[in-house]
A and B are shown apart, each in its own frame.
Chain A
């Protein structure tokens, strides 16, 4: 593959573009509501009505509004895009009728609502637009040009310094500077280096990485290739969860297509650069999202973490320097290459640059995928974009960061969403799951739920996490069942601090976060469940002095 060949594919795709495109969502969410049936019946309807020359039915990735699936968007030149929701296979002829007569269906959705208007697609710019199963569709969206640019117009050092200037921070949760990480790996003298893409999206309530992989897998492959060029690696791994079969299938297909076109393998774009990517399938262990545990799993071992340092950037997979980044981080690389580090750095806040993808779920009207610039307030996300709680309910809290994060109460909704502001509230940005809870939710039960999760998922290597999570879960369970006293609550808080400060890896260190944050903001709920201590030296209402006298 050389540039002119790439350009030919691009030109061909542009020339053969049809006037009307029916974009049909084929991501996991819509597929489960019979999106495939809708897609097939639309294809049939187009064929039967003889519109094949003008109309293209395209299976695309996530179109954001998962709660209203299956989604079909009608794009006509010169006419505003029209999104149809909850489409059934029987509606295919109605949609064809709409194309012919311009009379809209009852099920059309107003895309003028804030949910769509306030989005800023950078990572998701191809999501729901291109066909994830065709590499030509990605190239038509100017895919793989960034890789060519990096290989032929930049030195690896320049790529790294561009990443440093962009201010991109890791999207996996901790928010470490991506540029610095790349720099450390690039500077390592070793000849064998690895690049790993962490797609082990274990946080319950998060589906951003799944959506990116299902909707735009080539973007991730291209980002990984650029990263490999920058740090000098020749082998890459994508570690993806077994729970995402569609993402795995589309990645496998994407890798195959890239190899056939010579965009992966040896001598990419007529350069000295060689790079291969292998998929590693996880097997349901939350701890494998932690980078050292993930590497152990890639090596085919039990996914247990090890102490850091040495960091993976110095000594990672099989002892070689390894670059590990999240799916979304890699998906940010291509836009940074194409549009420049300064453009990227102009988005977001002082310390958190760029955009962030969030998965909105829970007790909220519009559930689905959103991408917004960093620094937008939680209120804007939850109330304006999400449309607030359904059926006139009131929002009580927003949970971010999954089992490692915390619950942010409704009176702190004006907090801007960036790494540092959320950390100050005792939560974390996490990978981007955002679960809205309404007044009916019992916060102590939520704390117990997350503790049960961490207890189950603790790998058992270090004692604070292995034993601590069990004890904390018991205490929380006691509180929920109304069998605890103030002493139990004090013991719980003590344990939280201990586990937080002494655990080996991120799982244990952050396991107490949901409990600590609910204790901070919803302490009353805990206290209302407590009982008076029957064995206390000084039970309520009893005067010790009187006792002594009697």
Chain B
């Protein structure tokens, strides 16, 4: 962990700044302050951190544990317990296939396997060129329009394997 205190007086106020000088750490710190550095808001902090950085790396987890005065083991434990948090960087585009029961019954597994075959990666992985991450969701609650796939945050209803492949092909084009 790389933390340097701006000045000694400030160190007492827990306003240590991150060595990288990355603005996002400052934003995260302000967010933590809004919650009065409450330890029970750890999951909220991790959400915010992931929203800012895209994923949670070790340095970031140390940063949070330092500010919330929590042991790093506890922060790491929580970050790895929940499926929503990822400790690996994601690709530029994300493709989330819902594998809830309704989507599964309506053929989401076929969508998934055709995507896996065409991208050459398994669910939960990112293409080597860091372009596309293929993820699964347990259920996004869009069962009425199953099978649903989330392309870069927007839900596409009644997806067929062909439609999904077309969409990812568009991403591959420069």
Interface residues of A (CB under 8 A from B): 28-29, 31-33, 66-67, 69, 201-207, 210, 242-244, 280-286, 297-303, 359-363, 367-369, 399, 402, 433, 435, 437, 441, 446, 449-450, 453, 457, 459
Contacts and interface: CB of A to CB of B under 8 A. Distances in A.
Given A28-B142, A33-B157, A281-B44, A300 B78 contact: yes
Contacts of B143: 66, 205-207, 359, 361-362, 367, 433, 435
A496 B145 CA distance: 33
Given A32-B148, A362-B101, A285 B141 contact: no
Contacts of B46: 283
A415 to B, nearest CB: 20
A205 B39 contact: no
Interface string B130-169: 0000000111111111101000001111000000000000
Given A243-B139, A297-B43, A33 B145 contact: yes
B84 A300 contact: no
B40 interface: yes
B102 A281 contact: no
A81 to B, nearest CB: 20
Nearest to B154: A32
A503 B103 CA distance: 29
B77 interface: yes
A435 B144 CA distance: 10
A116 to B, nearest CB: 15
A31 B154 CA distance: 9
A362 B39 contact: no
Interface string B46-88: 1100000000000000000000000000100110011111000
A362 B102 contact: yes
Interface string B83-105: 11100000000000001111111
B101 A66 contact: no
B84 A242 contact: yes
Nearest to A298: B40
Given A363-B105, A402-B101, A202 B141 contact: no
Given A33-B145, A243-B137, A283-B85, A449 B44 contact: no
Contact of B106 (A66, A363, A369, A446): A363
Nearest to B50: A283
Contacts of B157: 29, 32-33, 69
A361 B139 contact: no
A203 B103 CA distance: 13
B155 A284 contact: no
Given A284-B83, A437-B105, A210 B146 contact: no
A280 B43 contact: yes
Nearest to B104: A449
A302 B78 contact: yes
Given A300-B39, A300-B42, 11 more contacts: A203-B139, A207-B142, A244-B141, A280-B43, A283-B47, A283-B82, A284-B138, A301-B74, A302-B81, A367-B102, A457-B138
A399 B104 CA distance: 13
B84 A284 contact: yes
The 6 closest A-B pairs by CB, nearest first: A66-B144, A204-B100, A283-B82, A32-B155, A361-B102, A204-B139
5 contacts: A303-B81, A435-B101, A441-B105, A446-B105, A450-B101
B157 to A, nearest CB: 5
B41 interface: yes
A453 B101 CA distance: 10
B134 to A, nearest CB: 17
Contacts of B101: 204-205, 361-362, 399, 402, 433, 435, 449-450
Nearest to B103: A204
Given A207-B141, A243-B137, A301 B106 contact: no
A96 to B, nearest CB: 26
A359 to B, nearest CB: 6
A205 B139 contact: yes
Given A205-B102, A302-B81, A281 B47 contact: yes
Q: Which of B39, B47, B100, B106 has the most CB of A within 10 A?
A: B100
A244 B103 CA distance: 17
A284 B82 contact: yes
Contacts of A207: 141-144
Nearest to A64: B144
Contacts of B137: 243
Given A283-B46, A298-B40, A67 B106 contact: no
A242 B138 contact: no
